[in-house]
Amino acid sequence: MKIVEVPLPEDRLCEIAERIRRGETYESRPSGNLSWFDASRRGIWVVNRIRKALDSVRLETDPDFESAYIDSKITFKSINTVTVQPRRGWSGI
C-alpha cells in the first residue's frame, strides 16, 4: 500500500503566497479550495477557517471565495497594507 502525503491547507496557502510575491498569478476554484479544508460546502465554520488561513499569509481572493460561484475561477492576491492619507485641509489639530 502506497501512502500519499496530502499537504495541509495552510501549507498550500503559504506556497501560493510565495508564488504571488514572486509576481506569479494563481487561479483556483472555490470547490477545489474547499476540498483542501476537507469540506464541500461554505458553512460558517469552514468560511471562518479559510478566512483565518488566508489572513495568516496575507492573501485574499478576487472575487471573494465566499460569494463566488462554486465552480467559477478565483484569483489569489496579496493583501496590501493600506496607508490612510489625511483629507486636504486637515490641520491635524
- pTM equals 0.79
Span 15-69, pLDDT tens digits: 999 999 999 999 999 999 999 999 999 999 999 999 999 999 999 999 999 999 9
Instruction: Give the count of beta carbons closer than 10 Å to the beta carbon of residue 36.
Output: 18
More confident residue, 14 or 86: 14
CA–CA distance, 86 with 29 (Å, rounded to integer): 39
